[in-house]
Amino acid sequence: MTDEKFTDDRFKLTDEKAELALDILRQRLNRQLEASLEVCVRCGICAETCHYYVSNPKPEHVPAYRAEQLRKVYRQLSDPVAKAAPGWIGAAELDQEMVDQLMSAAFGTCTMCGRCVLNCPMGVDTRHIIRTARAMLTGIDMTPEGLKATVDIHLESGNNMGVNEEDYVDTLEWMEEELQAEVDDPTVKIPVNKKNARVMYTFNPREVKYFPYLIQAAAKIFNAANEDWTLSTESWDATNYGLFSGDDDAARTIANNLGQAVKNVGAEILVMAECGHGYRSQRWEAENWVGESYPFKVMSFVELMAQYIDEGRLELDPTVNDKRVTYHDPCNQARSGGIVEEPRYILRHTVMDFVEMEPHGIENYCCGGGGGMLSMSEFSKDRVAAGEAKAKQIQATGAEIVVTTCHNCLDQLAEVKRHYKLGVKVQNLSELVAEAIVWPRRAESPAEETE
Amino acid sequence: MQIVSVTRAIAIVGLVLGLIGIVLRVQEIRKRPYKQDLSRTRGNVDQALLYAFTLGMAPWEKESTRLHWMAYVRGILFHVGAFVAIGVFLVSPWLAAIPFFLSLVAMLVTAVGAVAGFAGIGMRLAEENIRVLSLPDDYFAVFLTSLFVALAFAVLLWPVALPAFYVVAALLFVYIPFGKIRHCIYFFYSKFFFGQSFGQRGVIGKTEKRYLTEEII
C-alpha cells in the first residue's frame, strides 16, 4: 500500500518503473557498493550511532535495517539463492510495498550523515547504500516534492531559490554600502567578476535572500585579510541538492556550472561558503561526477578563515564575544570532509568561552537537517523528533550561543531550539569572526598626510 | 578408520567446492567497476588503511564497539575460534604430532569460540533490534560455524569425533559462498574502501594536527 504521504500518481510503481529502478541499481553496482551490500552481518551495533534511533529507539531506526531494504532488492537481483529460497537470505521483489519501504528508509529517516559508517566494525558504507536507493527512486520520478523542486529550480535558474541576477547584484551592492558604513571606509569593495582574482567565493542563496548580513560578514573578513577575491554572476550558488536526490546527472550539471564559472573568472581557489553539503559536493564529489580533476583548488571558507588567522592576516578581539559558545560540526564538513580542527582554531581566537559538545568532531551527532531533510516537508515531524539527541547535547554544554558552519544545520538548529525550548542563539561562525575583527588601519593617503 | 578416510574425502571435496565458490565471488566483485576518487587528497591514505585494518578494529576505537563491547568481544572470540578450528582441520591428519602445549591452546580457544558462537544465537534471539534484522541464514550460519568450532575442540580431546568434524566442515565450506559467511571475502574490500575514502578526506588515520602543520593552500 502506498504511504499516505505519497498518494500522487507518480509514486505508483509500474512494471516499467520497476525495471528502470533495477537498471539504475545494476549501473551503480560498483565494487564499493557491492562490498557494502555484502559485508553486513546484521549485528545491529550501529543502532545508537543514529540520531533517529537515539531520539526514538525502534528497530526501523537502526541503520542496518534501512540498508537492509535495498539489500533485499539487491539479493533478488543478483543472488542465485534468491530464486530457490528468497526468504532464507532475505531477498524481495521491487514491488509497491518495497518501494514504500525504500522511500521511508532512504528519504524519510536517514540524513546520510555517515555516523553509522564511521562506527561500523565491518566498514559498511550505509551512506552509499542510501544514496543509491535515492538514485533509484529519483530515476523513477519518486523524489519527494520539495527536494525535487529544489533541484529543478537550481537547474532552471542557476541557483536553488530562483534568485535572478539583478536581485543578486543589488544585494551585493547594498551589502557593500553597509560594510563601507560599518567600517567607515569607502574603499572596501565586494568585487564581482574580477578576472584572475586569487579567490572566487560562493554563497548559499539563503544568504542572498534572507541573511544578507552574512554576505557583509564574509566581505568584511576578505577585506580585513586584504584578500584578492571576487564573486561571479555566472554561477555562485554553493548548494547542490543532486547530492541528496541521488541524481548524478543533475549534480554533475550543477557542479559543472560552478566549475566553469571559476575557470572563466580565472581564479586559483574556489572557496565554498559555510554550507556543509555544498562544500562536500564541490570539494569531494564534484570531480567524480564531472569525471576530471579541477585545475583549481576547492576549499571551505572555514579553512580559509583559519589560515588567515594562522598567517596573522586577521586581527581579532575575542572579548567582544564573551558569551559561552559551543560548536556544532556539520556532518558533511567534519565526518565527510575532515574539517574538525579549523573551526576550533578559529573559535579559540574569536570567543572567550568555548565549550565542546559531547561527542563532537567526527563523532558529532547529526542535527537532523542533513540529507536535504529541510526540503522534504513530508518528514518534518520525524526530523524535529530526531533533533532531540542534538538538543540534549546543546543543553548539556550550558552554552548561550551555538555556532555552526552550514545553513541546513543553522535552520534545523533554530527549529530544534524552538521545539525543545533551548535558551540559545544559533549563529554562523563567520558572524562571530566578523564581529571580532579589529578593523585594520589603512595607510593614510598622501593628500591626508599633506593636510 | 575407514569412516575417517571417507569423511575426510568428503571434507576435502567440500573445501574444494567452497574455494571454487570463493574464487567465483572474488571474480564477481572484481568484475564490478572500481570508482576512482578524482578529488585532491587531504589526508594520509596509507595511514588510514593501516588504521582501518589494525587499531581501527580495537574495541575502544569506535563508539559502537565501546557501547556494545561485550557483543564485540564475543564476536572476536568466535572468529578467533573459527580460524583456529580451520587450523585444526588442516592439521587433522596429524593430530597426534601436535605438541601438547599447542593442542592445549587450541582447545582453550576453540572451547571459548564455540561458547561465544552459540551465545551469539542467544543474543540474536534475545535482542529485539538484532532479532528483527536476522534472517534464517544468520541463525544457520552461526550455528554451523559454532558447531564446527565445537567439534574442533572435541577432536583435540577425542579423535573419535573426527568423522563428525569432517562432515560439518564439508557442509560449512560448501555453504560459505551461499550464505552470510561469505562476508569473510567482502570484509577485506569493505575495510579497504573504508580506510581509503576516510583517509582521502583526512577524517581518519591522522598522525598529527594537520591544520597547524600542513599548508592548506
Average pLDDT value for residue range B177-197:
97
> pLDDT at position A449, please?
41
Q: Are B216 and A307 a contacting pair at CB < 8 A?
A: yes
Calculate how close chain B gets to A252, using CA atoms only, in Å: 14
Q: Is A41 on the interface with B (CB under 8 A)?
A: yes
A403 close to A429: Cβ distance less than 8 angstroms: yes
Q: Is A447 a residue whose pLDDT tops 60? A: no
In the sheet that holds A229-230, the strands lie side by side as A229-230, A199-201, A269-272, A297-300
Composition of chain B by helix, strand, coil, percent to 5: 80, 0, 20
Dihedral angle computed from the Cα positions of residues B114, B120, B125 and B127, in that order, rounded to the nearest 10 degrees:
150
The C-alpha atoms of residue A236 and residue A252 are separated, in whole angstroms, by 15
* Phi, psi angles (nearest 5°) of residue A401: -130, 130
> pLDDT at position B205, please?
83
Q: Are A118 and B38 a contacting pair at CB < 8 A?
A: no
> pLDDT at position A444, please?
53
A361-392 residue pLDDT tens = 999 999 999 999 999 999 999 999 999 999 99
Q: Is B212 a residue whose pLDDT tops 60? A: no
3-class DSSP state of A448: helix
ipTM confidence: 0.94
CB pairs under 8 A between A and B: 183
A408-427 residue pLDDT tens = 999 999 999 999 999 999 99
Dihedral angle computed from the Cα positions of residues A227, A230, A231 and A234, in that order, rounded to the nearest 10 degrees:
-150
> pLDDT at position A442, please?
63
A339-355 residue pLDDT tens = 999 999 999 999 999 99
Q: Is B215 a residue whose pLDDT tops 80? A: no
> pLDDT at position A7, please?
83
Average pLDDT value for residue range A165-186:
96
> pLDDT at position B57, please?
95
Q: Are A42 and B203 a contacting pair at CB < 8 A?
A: no
Q: List the single best residue of A26, A27, A37, A39 to mutate versus B (max B Cβ within 10 A).
A: A39
> pLDDT at position B209, please?
59
Q: Is A169 on the interface with B (CB under 8 A)?
A: no
Chain A 283-322, residues with CB within 8 Å of chain B CB atoms: 283-288, 291-293, 297-299, 303-304, 306-307, 310
Confidence band, pLDDT 50/70/90 cuts, at residue B48: very high
Q: Is A420 on the interface with B (CB under 8 A)?
A: no
**CB neighbours of residue A319 within 10 Å:** 9
Average pLDDT value for residue range A73-79:
97
Cβ-nearest to B128 among A39, A59, A345: A59
Q: What is the pTM of this model?
A: 0.94
